[in-house]
Structure formats: structure tokens, C-alpha cells
Structure 1
Amino acid sequence: MTDTVDAAWQRILTLADEPARPDSPLSEAFAEMVRVAHAEPRLRGLYPWSGMWELHFSRCTEQRYTWDILYIGTLADGRYYVEGPSRNSPRTAETESARVAVARVADRLPPACGPAFAGNAEELAAHETARGRG
């Protein structure tokens, strides 16, 4: 894991442990999701980012991030959903378990996924093309 990826995980873990709205059922569900995702070695090497109570994973460390990995979100009742990889993709699962949601993402990673590439999506694509994988 690179220092950049590790720092991003530490920011997300800190955010999850200090929710802005502690009375929200989304706060604890989000915190659990982040902890479980961080514990999964196949995801821990990817660059995490979050927004709207969702946890996304990128194969690169800089914006524009990759959008080729499923992501996990929290529902109002504290359950989880898995969608993606793009916003136009259908929801693939809903579950009460963060572990089930994380496993679904980890089991559906693209081939040869990780560790995260230092750079943005365009630089990653050029790198993969040069290596004959693009």
C-alpha cells in the first residue's frame, strides 16, 4: 500500500469515527462499512473516497478517479446497497451486513486490480496501454 493510499484510508477511518450527525442511522452504518472495507486486503490497496454516505474505490490515487469498481452506500434504515461501477449501473445488492456488501465488491474487482496507481485515470490508462493491458 502506498503512503497516499494509506493516508486516504486514515482520513476516511477518522471521518467514519467522528460522524457529523451522530444521531443518524447512516453514521454508524457508514463507520461499520468503512472499518470492514479497510479490513479487506483486496480493497485496502485501492484508493478510497466517499460522499453521500457512499464508499468508492479507485485504481488510481488522483482525480479523475476510475469508475470501474462497484461501490457501497448506506440506506436510511442502516442497511447497505452495492451499485456501480457507474452511477448509471443498476443496484446489484441490498443487505443488512457490511461484510456481505464488502465481499460483493471485493469478489467483483476487475482483473489485475490493485494496488492503486499513483496518478489519475488517464495516466493509468496510458500506463496499462503501454504494458499491453489496455
Structure 2
Amino acid sequence: MTDIVEAAWRKILATAGEHTRPEGLPLLGPFTKMVQVAYAEPQLRQLCPWAGMWELHFSRCTGFRPTWDIPYIGTLTDGRYYVEGPHRNSPRIAETDSAQAAVAMVIERLPPGCGPAFAGTAEELAAYERKADPSGSKSR
């Protein structure tokens, strides 16, 4: 795991319990639990995490803009979880009561050969992959 990826995880782990929804409904416990369960999984821990809108996303690169080829996990106001993606316009994969089940759904849908996170942007990663596999046979 790169220092950049580890720092991103440490930041999310340290701040996961500091937020509440604007309506005042706390999502501290479920969101924190989801982050901890995801971090415990070696396949996800090697990816660069980012969070927003009570969702935990995973990128195959460390730079901005992240990749959008991995499903993400969100927290519902009732404390449950949803898995969507990899894109915003993708249909919801499932809802579950368990952070472990949500994380397992993401792991099952990781692209082939996923990780560790590439040090650079999504565009640099794509160029690197084209150079490494000029036939374009990778399914990403």
C-alpha cells in the first residue's frame, strides 16, 4: 500500500464519526462501521478511498480524478447500506443491513487485476494500461 493510499484511509477512518446528515439524523455508527469493515479487507485497503454524500468510494488511482469502475457503498438514513455503481447512473445493486455484506458485494465486483492503486490520475492510469496492454484486451 502506498503512503498516499494509507493516508487517505487514515483520514477517512479518523473523520468517519464526525458527521451528521443535514436533517440531524445521525449516521455516525453505520458509516464508521462501513469504513472499518472496508479497511479490514486487503483487496479494498490497497485502493484509494474517498467519501462524500455518506458514500465510500474506491479508486484504482491516487490522483484526482478518481476512477469510476468500482461499485461504492452508501449509508441509508435507517442505518442500512446500499451498493451502487460503478457509475452514478448504474442501477442499485442491493440494500443490506450488514456492512460486511455490502463490502463483500463490492469485492465480488472488483475489476480483474484490481490494485494496488496506481500513483497518478485516472488518465495516467489509462495511458499506462494501454501501453502495458496495447491489444486493449483488459476488461476495464
Aligned with 1:72: secondary structure?
A: strand
How is 1:85-124 mapped onto 2 (pairs within 5 angstroms)? 85-124=86-125
Opposite residue 3 of structure 1, the aligned amino acid is D
1:25–1:77 Cα contact (<8 Å) kept:
no
**Aligned match of 1:9:** 9
2:85–2:92 Cα contact (<8 Å) kept:
yes
**Aligned match of 1:21:** 20
- Distance apart, 1:25 and its partner CA: 3.7
- Distance apart, 1:103 and its partner CA: 0.5
**Aligned match of 1:78:** 79
Counterpart Cα distance in 2 of 1:36 and 1:24: 22
Q: Can you give the 5+ residue segments of structure 1 that lack an aligned partner in the other structure?
A: none
Counterpart Cα distance in 2 of 1:99 and 1:24: 23
Aligned length: 133
- Distance apart, 1:16 and its partner CA: 1.1
The percentage of counterpart residues that share the same residue type is 66
1:14-38 per-position Cα deviation (integer Å, ceiling 9, x unaligned): 0114x13397342111000000000
Opposite residue 14 of structure 2, the aligned amino acid is T
- Give RMSD over aligned pairs: 1.4
1:31-81 per-position Cα deviation (integer Å, ceiling 9, x unaligned): 000000000000000000000000000000011110000000000100000
How is 1:31-46 mapped onto 2 (pairs within 5 angstroms)? 31-46=32-47
- Distance apart, 1:117 and its partner CA: 0.1
Counterpart Cα distance in 2 of 1:115 and 1:26: 29
2:19–2:27 Cα contact (<8 Å) kept:
no
2:19–2:26 Cα contact (<8 Å) kept:
no
Which of structure 1's runs of 4+ aligned residues deviate more than 6 A?
none
With normalisation by structure 1, the TM-score equals: 0.95
